[in-house]
Structure 1
Amino acid sequence: MSWRFVELPPQDGYHMVTSFVAVADYVSKGGKNTLLLFSVKEPFVNVGVHQEVWLEVDLDFTKAHNIPVVRRDLGGGTVVITQGEHDYFIVIKANEAPRDPVRLYSTYLTPIVNVLRDYGLNASLRDQDIVVNGKKISGNGAMNYENAVVIAGNILMELDVDLMSKCIKVPSVKFRDKMAKDMRDWLTSLKDELGYVPPREELNKKIKQAFERDLGIKFEDSQLTPEEIETWEKLAEDKRREEWVYYKDNRHPDLRTERCVKISSAVALCHLDYKARKLIRLTVKFVEGKLEEVSISGDFFVMSPKGFVEYLEDYLRGSRPEEINERIEKAFEEKKPVIFGFTKEDLKNAFNEVLKKPEVQEVI
């Protein structure tokens, strides 16, 4: 089976997060499966499609240092992308990809695991991440795009924990120091493990060989088509719009709280972080005993259908507390979402935790 192998020069954040969408459009229309490799020109904060920027990013710091905030089309958490990582994008025809996310990641990330093992590292796949001796060295996410599936990931070559920790929103300086320490405890890089940073050309060669060997494919060295480049430029320009970057924030402009507060005898605002396999962040507004509005955000991945989270938020509006679980059940039954990170039972449990809050109890 023949695939395209495409290497590109370093890109800015807007072009990085749209490259795989342009390629997915090509693959979806019958083009060859493609492995795309490149890195970033300058640091940027990369926010997951299901996250609210105000909850995740220290905007005072990023604006003061001209660090762009870029929302991608993939789920997952907020990450700070620097020149110290090497990025890959695997774009395949949907009918060739396992529907189950666990099998999908296992199939297409095994070559990356084996590249790291080729360097003598004790690498293994843990969920959608790759770890070395338990420390994360590669983060990955997946999405469906029409008739194509995309897996986007990176290999951490060198860490800038100081910059990374300053871009993420935290409640205090003390907490930031703890977060930086935690990052050093659970992240690693090729430099940390090997004592040096391998040349990118060497890494690309090893990745190419591993994919050919492990997937039984043959690469042809290629470039993006003129149509892909045209699509790519349009997509990158679209991602610069604040309407997109702050899409999730602007969808719920009145739900800005990180705690539970009783606004009046009839109104309560409440925020809850619920740890399932991934993090679910619920912010709710109850008015006169009904759920008037809800934001469901977090670092989970919704493979399909597109827009399921927004559909669910709208579907739950107007629910009485005793109706919430039933509506969640019905939405999952009708839409049959493929989600990596939480189940419908996790979501029910998260809402049940919110309903137990004293501030909410007093208005329902």
Structure 2
Amino acid sequence: MSWRFISLPPQDGYHMVTSFVAVADYVNRGGKNTLLIFSVKEPFVNVGVHQEVWLEVDLEFTKKMKIPVVRRDLGGGTVVITAGEHDYFIVVRQEDAPRNPTELYRKFLTPVVNVLRSYGLNADLRDQDIVVNGKKISGNGAMTRGNSVVLAGNILLSLDVDLISKCIKVPTEKFRDKMAKDMSEWLTSLEKELGYVPPRDEINRKLKEAFEKELGIKFEDSTLTPEEIELWEKLASEKAKEEWIFYKDNRHPNIHTERCVKISSAVALCHLDYKARKLLRITLKIVNKKIDEISISGDFFVMSPNGFIEYLEDRLKGVSANLEEIREVILDEFNEKKPVIFGFNENDLIDALTEIMRKPDIQEVI
């Protein structure tokens, strides 16, 4: 099977997060599976599609330093993208991709693992991350787009822990210092492991060889088509608009809180961070013993169907603040829509809502 191999010059953040969408459109129209590789011109904060920016990003610092905040179409957590990354985007026809997320990551990330092992590193796949001696050196995420599947990821060449820690929202500066220390302990890079950064051309050559060997394919060096470039420019322009960047924030403007508070005898507002396989962040407003508004955010991945989280939020509005009724709605929607989610399941969501509904401030109004 023949694939396209495309290596591009460094791009800005808006072009990075839309490149694979333009390629997916090409694949949807019958184009070849594609491995796209490039890096970024300057740092930017990359927020997952299911995250609220105000909860994740230190906007005071990023504005002062003129570091763009970019929302991508993929799930996952907030990351700070720097020129110290080597980024890749794998776009394939749906029939060539396993439906199970774990099998999907194993199939398409094994070549990347093998490249790292070729440098003598003890690299392994752990969920959707690649680790070296237990430390993360590659983060990855996946999504469906029409009849194609996209897997986006990177290899960390070098790390700027100080910059990364300053871009992320934290409760205190002491916590920020701890986060920077923790990042140094659970993140690594080729520079840290090898003592030098291999040339990007060399890494590209190794990636091509590893993918060809593992998947039984043959690459042809290629470029984006004029149609892809036209769509790419249009999408990048759209992603630079504030209504997209703050889409999730603006969807729930009246429930921005990180605590639980009883507002009146009939109204309570509460936030909960719940650790499933991935982080679930639930913010809930109860009015007159019903769910008035709910935000479900976090660093999970929803591969299909598109818009499921927003649909579920809307479906839960107006539901009685009764755990059995809430549970029934969630189970019904999961059974009907059959979402493919990496990071939590229906029982995790029910458990998170059970925990938040049992908070004293909520209990006092229901």
Structure-2-length-normalised TM-score: 0.99
Name the counterpart of 2:204: 204
Q: Secondary structure at the match of 1:11?
A: coil
After TM superposition, give the deviation of residue 34 of structure 1 in Å: 0.2
Letter in 2 for 1:341: G
1:92-147 deviations in whole A, cap 9, x for unaligned? 00111100000000000000000000000000000000000000000000000001
Q: Secondary structure at the match of 1:114?
A: helix
Alignment of 1:354 onto 2:360: no
CA distance in 2, matches of 1:361, 1:202: 60
Name the counterpart of 2:328: 326
CA distance in 2, matches of 1:46, 1:3: 28
CA distance in 2, matches of 1:259, 1:294: 14
After TM superposition, give the deviation of residue 288 of structure 1 in Å: 1.1
After TM superposition, give the deviation of residue 321 of structure 1 in Å: 2.5
Name the counterpart of 1:279: 279
Name the counterpart of 1:91: 91
> CA contact under 8 A between 2:4 and 2:35: conserved in structure 1?
yes
Name the counterpart of 1:168: 168
Q: Is there any run of 5+ residues in structure 1 with no aligned partner, and where?
A: none
CA distance in 2, matches of 1:313, 1:182: 34
Instruction: Please report the RMSD computed on the Cα atoms of aligned residues, expressed in angstroms.
Output: 0.4
Runs of 4+, deviation exceeding 4 Å: none
Name the counterpart of 1:238: 238
CA distance in 2, matches of 1:220, 1:150: 19
Identity over aligned residues, as a percent?
75
Q: Secondary structure at the match of 2:76?
A: coil
Name the counterpart of 1:19: 19
1:66-91 deviations in whole A, cap 9, x for unaligned? 00000000000000000000000000
1:203-248 deviations in whole A, cap 9, x for unaligned? 1110011000110000000000000000000000000000000000
Alignment of 1:56 onto 2:81: no
CA distance in 2, matches of 1:326, 1:144: 28
After TM superposition, give the deviation of residue 319 of structure 1 in Å: 1.1
1:260-301 deviations in whole A, cap 9, x for unaligned? 011111110000000000000000000111111000000000
Letter in 2 for 1:332: F
CA distance in 2, matches of 1:135, 1:204: 22
Name the counterpart of 1:78: 78
Q: Secondary structure at the match of 1:175?
A: helix
Q: Is there any run of 5+ residues in structure 2 with no aligned partner, and where?
A: none
Letter in 1 for 2:331: E
CA distance in 1, matches of 2:166, 2:261: 28
Letter in 2 for 1:115: V
After TM superposition, give the deviation of residue 320 of structure 1 in Å: 1.2
Q: Secondary structure at the match of 2:92?
A: strand
1:50-70 deviations in whole A, cap 9, x for unaligned? 000000000000000000000
CA distance in 2, matches of 1:36, 1:10: 12
> CA contact under 8 A between 2:286 and 2:321: conserved in structure 1?
no
Alignment of 1:340 onto 2:334: no
1:322-343 deviations in whole A, cap 9, x for unaligned? 2111100011011110000001
How many residue pairs match? The answer is: 364
Structure-1-length-normalised TM-score: 1.00
CA distance in 1, matches of 2:363, 2:304: 34
Q: Secondary structure at the match of 1:90?
A: strand
Q: Secondary structure at the match of 1:264?
A: coil
> CA contact under 8 A between 2:14 and 2:70: conserved in structure 1?
yes
Letter in 2 for 1:130: I
CA distance in 1, matches of 2:212, 2:279: 35
CA distance in 2, matches of 1:203, 1:95: 28
